[in-house]
Amino acid sequence: MGFWLSYCFWYISRGFVKIR
């Protein structure tokens, strides 16, 4: 479960930086 949470967080973080 922690793995998925970390993956989601990383994906969102990457997308956020991409948008900015």
pLDDT band at residue 2, thresholds of 50, 70 and 90?
A: confident
Q: Looking at residue 15, what is its pLDDT? A: 87
Helix H or strand E encompassing 2: helix 2-19
pTM here? 0.29
Q: Looking at residue 17, what is its pLDDT? A: 83
What CA–CA distances, in Å, run from 8 to 11, 13, 16, 17, 18? 5, 8, 12, 14, 15
Tokens of 18: 């991409």
Q: What is the mean pLDDT of residues 2-20?
A: 89
Find the largest Cα–Cα distance for the chain: 29
